[in-house]
Structure 1
Amino acid sequence: MQDTTLSRWLAPVMAFCLSFVMITTLAPTVGVQIDRQLDFWLLWLGTMFLLALPIAYLEIALAKRSQTTALQALSTLTRDADASPRWRIVGWLAVVFIPFFAGSVLTTASSVMSPQIAFDLSDQVLFAIFAVIALGLSFIPRQFLLALTTLGVVAAFILANVMGTELSAWHWTSIEFKEWGNATVLALVASGLGLGLYWQSSLSMVKQQPAATTAVLPIWLAQLVAVIAFGFFSVQAQLPALAWVFAAIMTAALLIQLTREQLAQRQLAHIIQWVIIVAAIAVWAIPHVEQVFNTLLMLWGLAICLIYAVFAGWIMKISHLRKAMGFSNELFYNLWRIAVRVVLPLSIVVAAIAVIGQSL
């Protein structure tokens, strides 16, 4: 487990890097990078305040309450709430989702890399190579793995801007129903919220901090910076593309490492840990499944956030989360509770309907 000093910088740096790479992975699916619509970006930023911030508080509050990582915590949290053990399924949904998302990242990396190499390799072969590399790199200590991820993300961003990659001009369009779904997916799913990643990386600091805000705001601000940075990024040129592929492989390795740690703390046999991880990644090697799997990924991620919101807002005891949040003002807690009980569930359901409608 990371010490407090390491956790202080680890979580926000990880939030920026993971959000940037995961946003870049899902952006083509929702058509963001092709057409820079200013109204959509403002909507996206709005969801970062309205939805991402409350669920970031939710994740850290559950970490403070449980004092352990997400998958292991659900047993304690459901007992504390006198709730059905069936609520624990959200922990398993999240822990399997993480390597599944890693597979999506590696699939995108293979499609980005394919035009940049001189010799002819199929996307499936590149994917397999990248997956083996990511699995091997997942054994590197986390601080070094995160440093390499950061190096790749920063290099990709700088190279994209230095090389003067042309992007379409910002412009206004009319708001469409599907845009709410896309904005919600990018704010929640592509930021890794609800997966227990920041819960896991901030745990040692959270245990010693009286208020959740100390851990939440740096993570959320880092995610917000990633959203803004993505507006000025493209992988069209060769060097930014290669740098992004490097960052993507490091990100996949980091996601695999985080998954393995949660499964190990659940005391699963090593063979079962690897079966779960490898199977979740390997399904992406099936040809022509990217669009279907990315839609599944978006709906799956929204479902995880929805279950956590309903569990924390309606099932857990009020006194437990109020103490874990540590807000200085009761008004802030009441606003957060309204957001988690009403705004988040309704927004996620509407977003899921929009995603399904867009895929049909």
Structure 2
Amino acid sequence: MSRWLSPLMAFCLSFILIAGLAPSLGLAVDRQIDFWLLWFGTMLLLALPIAYLEIALAKRSKTTVLNALSSLTRDADVSPKWRIVGWLAVVFIPFLAGGIVFNITAMNLKPTELAVEHHWFVLGCMALAFALSFISRQILLALSVIGVLASLVFATVYPAALTPWHMTELSFSEWGNATILALVATGLGLGLYWQNSLDSVQSQASASKIVLPIWVGQLLAVIAFAYFGVNAQLPAISIVFSVVAVAALLLQFARVQLQHRQIAVLIQYAICLAALAVWFVPNMAQWLNPLLMLWGLVICLIYAIFVGWLMKISHLRKAMNIGNEGLYNLWRIAVRIILPLSIVLAIVAFVGQLI
């Protein structure tokens, strides 16, 4: 069963993150064939290489991200400043958890449906997520699966009014949106799959046996989202149930990384709670959502540069154990050239939409 934990997590996490982030990108129920094909392309060209990157680093370091970067930077003989990417990620994780809770409750719950003010309801959801983050990861994953499947079943029985599939003209801004959904909305670059696969990497000789099921889980979440639409009138109870469970899972991942780094318990709680609390600042969501997406892209960019240009070729080759040298070389090209250039273009495209 343990080998299915990461693919299941990939599906649930990706579906909830996509549902939480896509509305901020202006994606609602419009079924544009060209955009979904572009999204699939970014999943193949960008998400898959960085998924291999995470698992290869897990196989080499055999520990969680914050601990691993100390040894990885020493192995690469580079400045300790590169360890900042681990801290950026571990603070980003609870920030992301707060963002998806805030966005999904705002999108799926009407003020008239609540007996209390919306901000009090969101506060209750975040407090519940923080409390649930102390229970077993398997239980949290089971709760996430139940909530997501219930939402999809409801959306099947009571389908929303979605536009028919149609072709449109691709724009530069859509590249940025597709890249954000392929990287940030799948949780890549945060060390989540790295952390969740530490037991599996010890028993699997090839990284592909771990990476490909995770990538398929992410891809299935994309397909489910494309089919049902982001605003498919999902039932408020099940989707909120799901987002609380996923947020709890994210908070647990962040806290465990801080524990492994031997950060004081009070500081662990302060980091998680502060990252959640910032979403309650009045009228800040319009600024926090773009920051969230840019922050996630920057983390992936730093990893691509660190692994592609600073680590020695031999460092990850053995860890990945890809039998075909040509495929390994394609991965190196993707990490060294395609990923950095694509992320920079995505940042430019996304910022262009904000100006």
TM-score where L is the length of structure 1: 0.96
Aligned to 1:41: 36
Distance in structure 2 (CA, Å) of the matches to 1:286 and 1:50 = 37
Amino acid at match of 1:241: A
Spell out the pairing of 1:254-273 with structure 2 (5 A cutoff).
Answer: 254-273=249-268
Amino acid at match of 2:209: T
The count of residues paired between Structure 1 and Structure 2 equals: 355
Distance in structure 2 (CA, Å) of the matches to 1:236 and 1:306 = 30
Distance in structure 2 (CA, Å) of the matches to 1:14 and 1:331 = 30
* Structure 1 range deviating more: 234-243 or 221-230: 234-243
Spell out the pairing of 1:105-124 with structure 2 (5 A cutoff).
Answer: 105-115=100-110, 118-124=113-119
Q: Per the alignment, do residues 117 and 264 of structure 1 end up closer, same or farther by CA in structure 2, a change over 3 Å counting?
A: farther
SS in 2 for 1:195: coil
Structure 1: which 5+ residue stretches go unaligned?
Answer: none
Matched, 1:136 2:134: no
Provide, for residues 131-158 of structure 1, a one-character-per-residue CA deviation record: whole Å limited to 9, x for no partner. 1111111111110110000000000011
Residue among 60, 67, 71 paired with 1:72: 67
Shift of 1:270: 0.2
SS in 1 for 2:49: helix
Aligned to 2:141: 146
Aligned to 1:100: 95
Aligned to 1:194: 189
Matched, 1:308 2:296: no
Distance in structure 1 (CA, Å) of the matches to 2:28 and 2:306 = 35
Distance in structure 2 (CA, Å) of the matches to 1:163 and 1:70 = 42
Provide, for residues 193-218 of structure 1, a one-character-per-residue CA deviation record: whole Å limited to 9, x for no partner. 01000000011111221111010000
Identity %: 59
Distance in structure 2 (CA, Å) of the matches to 1:236 and 1:333 = 39
Aligned to 2:162: 167
Residue among 333, 354, 357 paired with 2:328: 333
Matched, 1:17 2:12: yes
Residue among 297, 313, 317 paired with 1:318: 313
Matched, 1:250 2:248: no
Amino acid at match of 1:64: K
Aligned to 2:292: 297
Shift of 1:234: 4.5
TM-score where L is the length of structure 2: 0.97
Does the Cα contact within 8 Å between 2:29 and 2:231 map onto a contact in 1? no
Q: Per the alignment, do residues 236 and 318 of structure 1 end up closer, same or farther by CA in structure 2, a change over 3 Å counting?
A: closer
Does the Cα contact within 8 Å between 1:114 and 1:122 map onto a contact in 2? no
Distance in structure 1 (CA, Å) of the matches to 2:24 and 2:107 = 14
Amino acid at match of 2:347: A
Aligned to 1:87: 82
Amino acid at match of 1:150: V
Distance in structure 1 (CA, Å) of the matches to 2:227 and 2:236 = 14
Shift of 1:82: 0.7
Shift of 1:12: 0.4
Q: Per the alignment, do residues 180 and 30 of structure 1 end up closer, same or farther by CA in structure 2, a change over 3 Å counting?
A: same
Distance in structure 2 (CA, Å) of the matches to 1:124 and 1:70 = 33
Matched, 1:178 2:199: no
TM-align CA RMSD: 1.4
